[in-house]
Amino acid sequence: MNSVKKGSMSKNWLKGSVGLINEKVKFKCLVEGKEPIIVDYTPPLGDGEGYTSLELLLLSLASCFASTVKLMVNNHLKKRIDDLQVLASGIRREEHPTAFESINLELMFKSSEIKPEALEEVMQLAKDKFCPVWAMLKNNVEIKTTIKPL
């Protein structure tokens, strides 16, 4: 096991823990200083009493992409977005591993300061360069985006 030298952990180091809480596959997941979340699987393997890991991955992509777009609009374009929502959906493969074949993100926004065309450019930069979850998934899953005003 590789040891980490004292003081060598950077602020970029992320840690969490996952602990089994029943006889099936229900886990309590913790990140220090945050509320726990429950991860489970659908019956009969699980009890369906929490998020599945793929649901969390889908939400991670959607929230990371939305955050990246929002921050880029605010900080780089110096424009304001009044409301931003993302509907995320994914198609799972039938065979194992039942990973996503494709993911669709529908970005809906409200802003008097930015037009859809400008937001499309920001979204492309987020996809190509800035969204870390997108970067991890883009070569493994087809991800499509659409945009529409609220």
Three-class SS of 70-119: HHHHHHCCCCCCCEEEEEEEEEECCCCCCCEEEEEEEEEEECCCCCHHHH
Give the separation between CA 133 and CA 127, rounded to whole angstroms. 9
- pLDDT attached to residue 3: 43
Fold of 53-149: GMP Synthetase; Chain A, domain 3 (3.30.300)
- pLDDT attached to residue 10: 73
Quote the tokens at residue 118.
């400008």
Phi, psi of 55 (to 5 degrees): -65, -40
Quote the tokens at residue 9.
């952990």
Give the separation between CA 127 and CA 124, rounded to whole angstroms. 5
- pLDDT attached to residue 9: 60
- pLDDT attached to residue 102: 97
Other C-beta atoms within 10 Å of 50: how many? 20
- pLDDT attached to residue 29: 98
Provide the β-strand partners of residue 144.
104
The structural domains of the chain, with segments of one domain joined by +, span 14-51, 53-149
Q: Do 24 and 11 contact (CB within 8 A), yes or no? A: no
Q: pTM here? A: 0.89
Return the residue matching tokens 């990140």.
31
Cα separations in angstroms, 88 against 5, 9, 28, 143: 40, 34, 24, 10
Give the separation between CA 95 and CA 93, rounded to whole angstroms. 6
Q: Is 39 helix (H, G, I), strand (E, B) or coil?
A: strand
Tens-digit pLDDT string for the chain (150 aa) = 344 445 556 788 999 999 999 999 999 999 999 999 999 999 999 999 999 999 999 999 999 999 999 999 999 999 999 999 999 999 999 999 999 999 999 999 999 999 999 999 999 999 999 999 999 999 999 999 999 999
